[in-house]
Structure 1
Amino acid sequence: MKKIYWFIISFIIAVSSGSVFSYEAIVGPTGVLKYVSERSYGGYTLFAPMMNSKTTYLIDMEGSLVHKWESEYTPGSYAMLLPNGNLLRGGVMEKRAAAIGGAGGIVQEIDWDGRVVWEYKMNSAREIQHHCFDRMPNGNTLILGWEAKSIDEAIAKGRDPKTIPLEVHDMGQYHNEFWMDFVREVDKNGKIIWEWHVWDHIGTGPHQLDINYVLPEKLGPNYAGFDWSHFNVVEYIPEMDMVLLNSRNLSEFYLVDHKTGRIVYRWGNPSAYGQGKKPSWYDNGDQKVFGSHGVSYIGKDRFMIFDNGSERAEGNRSAIVIVDRKTNQVVWEYHPITSQSFYSFRQGYVQMLPNGNIHVTSTNSGHLFEVTEDKKVVWDYVSPVFGKELKCYAEDGDMPNMMNNMIHRSYRYGADFPGLKNRDLSKKIPLTECPEFYRIYKTDK
């Protein structure tokens, strides 16, 4: 009894103090942990749990379910709402051409009532959809993919044979080829409109990717082998007619001209193109972000990044970073004083909300939170969905650095979002019967 009492006391102190603290731990309560309604943007949060779940959830700020969609696939890797109220969702096909982390094979559009109204499959021996997708204003869809290239092709392209592992095993599968990133734009009929391939931009200049750039060996064999660049973001920026991409392994993002295909801007790791000191075992070098995910354009030539920090020589910790393209400088950064209170070894996403707050997905512990510009956490949520189970208490996962309530990416939508107009959101169903800690904090200033 005393142990439980002191846990509750320490938990209350933790979530109610500190301007830069968000709750994250190996074990602890789930659901809404904090909700400061006066400072929160409010609205509804969409998420698709990754582990053994085929359901996409839309919840209100108090954690109640207002709508859900069922699918025949687990998410590959997330879902997003479209302005018409339909869901755009990636799926992990049962028989994938390549068992690589992030590979899915299919993107579907699902209407409000759960009917599939459009889909595009990319799942063959030579190419497979992975991670990310985006719907363009003209109705076309950008899809991120991998294409297979042989080791001989990579060597002919300039890859140093000494940097290629003799064999690489990933997710129980042997790989003896390179899977290179590319982007495909398709219309509503599945016709290919535009493509961009990393393979066409191999080189050593600032507008190219160096096929021989290999991060320190401590990062593991995958970084040197089959999944060399590992892109995890594709986003279309209509006001620029640019495509935004991000590489986890090279730890930098790119702006690609949609008309010419040229890389016109990159940021995050100048050593990747010979313009800075490479990180080492003991210092970060000139590298700015580490294993980054979730880059998004937030307007005024600024970009926001989920910096995982998982390969940071000077200590693992995640951060949210906003960089100004005009100056190449970080203009805002959020990371808690207690580093392990916010840390996702892999994956993650950040979304700028209309009121200036930021919605954060810390993937590996199913942790979602909202932070203000002055770095105060005003909404804190840990998903209770652990595969096919709902839990009031988060427990250690089955994989290193990952828990079974993982969420790759979540989105917040305001009550005025066009896709929610005239939708019945009145049926508020609690996901669990867990204690509602957040009620203690609703009137915080």
Structure 2
Amino acid sequence: MKKRLTVLYLTICLLSLGCDKDQTPKQIFHSLNITVGTGGTVDVDSGIYLEGTEISITATPDANFEFEKWSGDSESTSAVLSITMNKPIDLHANFKEKVDEQPTNSDAEITFFNSGLIDDSGYILAIENGQNTCYLIDHDGTKVFSWTFDRVLGQDIELTPEGNLIGLFKVDSTPIAFGGQSGIIREIDKEGNILWEYVLATENEITHHDLTQLPNGNILVLVWERIPLAEATAVGLNSTSDIFTEKVIEINPDSNEIVWQWKSWDHIVQDFNSELGSFGDPAVETDKINILYANSDVHEFVALGDVMHANGIDYLPEEDIIALSINFFSEVWIIDHSTTSEQARTSSGGQFDKGGDLLYRFGNQRVFGDIEGSNIFDFNHNPSFVNNSGEISVLIFNNNNAAGQSSAMEFLLPEINGSTPIGSDPNIIFEFTDSTLFFPRIGGASRLPNGNTLICEGDFGFWEVAPNGEIVWTYNGLGKQFWRGVFYSKDSPEITSLNL
């Protein structure tokens, strides 16, 4: 009996050893402790992680700060740190406050300065094109305040009366990737905190290029809108893919609602398909958009579906009208903002009873059907209303690609009403050009309080010229590209709210 019990005991022990051999190895975890100094954030939280886990940590500085280094278990000076959890790890992200410095030859330089004629009553918001920064400069070239962002700009940004920034920023990826796309609108305070964000980036539409804040706080912004290939070819476009036309939306940032919109596609005319409601004579219906002008080979993006390419917007509150720069049409369009969204789809309603039809347009006679017609603009940017005691004009940057020499031009508008004649160009009342002034892709012009004109030359920097065309100030960015320069008076709420 005792022998049997011994055998049974040995059998149980062997089975027990076999079971222990098949058990899953014990998992090992390590702690990650991350602390952050003043002036920034990190994108990974402290916690417990499985051994062997690979983690990428990014340190992002606040406005007016920069990343200095990691301390603890790493001394890296790279803001992006990759670690493997093979032991407990302690990290501290160190930031340091930026120190404003006088510009040097590696930063920027003032190449012309006439202190008696410059308008030194304010600062210029210098917007670096497609970068993650903008800054206020004075006429000495000193950066008096700067911002750095965690995303690159989707081109335009401007100051609010509260001293915040409203701007466009690029999404990470989008199927609509023409030059100038953004997808995100943000309001950011002077410390770099995001106060509000609105995202419009889908397969069918995306914000792009330019925005402006209305007096009521709402935001007007340009949007590309997809038009299916079948609709494009039905009106006679030589397309092989969907196209993208322009619309303007107004967003209420308090409710995140689109409270008004205007669509260019609702106001096209074509002489190709008589079965469609858009059929007509572009030379007669000049308040409509001759969509077949997009069949001309004006830009390589047209073949990709970007058939209009609006790149600038401005609003005139005294008249409640909007100016649009339409780059591939080489035109400025004036539309009515007083309509409802439903009226804006039609040809009636609003203060001029024109609905969403064009109130006025100028810059290119070829858009009316005669491809050999004359043109003032050869690509254009940044329409800017000027109100001189009731006389309304528009300043614009004429890239003038074919000539290889750009210019800032001001046009006195006729009285805008429901019967304003369309077809002839307005009178030029100011023009400045120079043999060295040229950039084919971006640029801008705006009027300063003393009557001077501020010009942004995209690949150079800024010019300031007097009403008689005399150059009074130039700022050379030394290789930087600038989307635009926006002037703010020192006593404006935008500047006083910053407490510089």
TM-score class normalised by the smaller sequence: 0.7 to 0.9
Matching of residues 194-273 of structure 1 within 5 Å: 194-203=260-269, 204=282, 205-214=285-294, 217=297, 219-258=298-337, 259=339, 260-273=355-368
- 1:302 is matched with 393
* Distance in structure 2 (CA, Å) of the matches to 1:357 and 1:295: 16
What's the CA shift string for 1:375-434, capped at 9, x where partnerless? 1111111224xxxxxxxxx4xxxxxxxxxx111111122211211116443xxxxxxxxx
* Distance in structure 1 (CA, Å) of the matches to 2:205 and 2:457: 29
Compute the RMSD of aligned alpha carbons.
2.0
Using the TM superposition, give the Cα deviation of residue 245 of structure 1 relative to its aligned residue in structure 2, in angstroms. Answer: 1.0
Using the TM superposition, give the Cα deviation of residue 289 of structure 1 relative to its aligned residue in structure 2, in angstroms. Answer: 1.0
* Distance in structure 2 (CA, Å) of the matches to 1:255 and 1:367: 29
Percent of paired sites with the same residue = 28
Using the TM superposition, give the Cα deviation of residue 369 of structure 1 relative to its aligned residue in structure 2, in angstroms. Answer: 1.2
* Distance in structure 2 (CA, Å) of the matches to 1:220 and 1:249: 7
Verify the 8 A CA contact 1:58 1:67 in the aligned structure 2.
yes
Q: Which one of the candidate residues 440, 449, 452 is aligned to 1:354?
A: 449
**Helix, strand or coil at the partner of 2:293:** coil
Gaps of 5+ in 1: 1-26, 167-175, 280-284, 385-393, 395-404, 426-445
Verify the 8 A CA contact 2:299 2:328 in the aligned structure 1.
no
Verify the 8 A CA contact 1:41 1:414 in the aligned structure 2.
no
What's the CA shift string for 1:178-233, capped at 9, x where partnerless? 0111111110221011110111011132111111114753x443235501011111
From the superposition, tell whether residues 71 and 201 of structure 1 become closer, same or farther in structure 2 (CA, over 3 Å).
same
- 2:376 is matched with 288
Q: Does 1:31 align with 2:109?
A: yes
* Distance in structure 2 (CA, Å) of the matches to 1:56 and 1:220: 29
Bigger relative contact order (CA 8 A; separation at least 6): 1
- 1:187 is matched with 252
Verify the 8 A CA contact 2:392 2:412 in the aligned structure 1.
yes
Verify the 8 A CA contact 2:405 2:437 in the aligned structure 1.
yes
Matching of residues 11-22 of structure 1 within 5 Å: none
Amino acid at match of 1:234: I
* Distance in structure 2 (CA, Å) of the matches to 1:71 and 1:213: 39
**Helix, strand or coil at the partner of 2:115:** coil
Verify the 8 A CA contact 1:301 1:325 in the aligned structure 2.
yes
Verify the 8 A CA contact 2:156 2:211 in the aligned structure 1.
no
From the superposition, tell whether residues 112 and 29 of structure 1 become closer, same or farther in structure 2 (CA, over 3 Å).
closer
* Distance in structure 1 (CA, Å) of the matches to 2:205 and 2:138: 38
**Helix, strand or coil at the partner of 1:212:** helix
**Helix, strand or coil at the partner of 1:263:** coil
- 1:335 is matched with 433
* Distance in structure 2 (CA, Å) of the matches to 1:84 and 1:383: 28
Q: Structure 1 or 2: larger strand share?
A: 2
* Distance in structure 2 (CA, Å) of the matches to 1:118 and 1:107: 8
Q: TM-score, normalised by structure 1?
A: 0.75
What's the CA shift string for 1:121-162, capped at 9, x where partnerless? 110111100001110011111110001112111122x124xx
* Distance in structure 2 (CA, Å) of the matches to 1:237 and 1:301: 9
Q: Does 1:369 align with 2:456?
A: no
From the superposition, tell whether residues 202 and 225 of structure 1 become closer, same or farther in structure 2 (CA, over 3 Å).
farther
Amino acid at match of 2:110: V
* Distance in structure 2 (CA, Å) of the matches to 1:48 and 1:202: 34
- 2:71 is matched with none
* Distance in structure 2 (CA, Å) of the matches to 1:74 and 1:128: 16
- 2:233 is matched with 155
**Helix, strand or coil at the partner of 2:169:** strand
Q: Which one of the candidate residues 117, 136, 141 is aligned to 2:195?
A: 117
- 1:402 is matched with none
Q: Does 1:129 align with 2:224?
A: no
Using the TM superposition, give the Cα deviation of residue 64 of structure 1 relative to its aligned residue in structure 2, in angstroms. Answer: 1.4
From the superposition, tell whether residues 278 and 329 of structure 1 become closer, same or farther in structure 2 (CA, over 3 Å).
farther
- 1:433 is matched with none
Verify the 8 A CA contact 2:164 2:187 in the aligned structure 1.
yes
**Helix, strand or coil at the partner of 1:227:** coil
* Equivalent pairs, count: 351
**Helix, strand or coil at the partner of 2:191:** coil
Deviation >4 Å, runs of 4+:
none
Q: TM-score, normalised by structure 2?
A: 0.67
Q: Does 1:419 align with 2:494?
A: yes
- 1:437 is matched with none
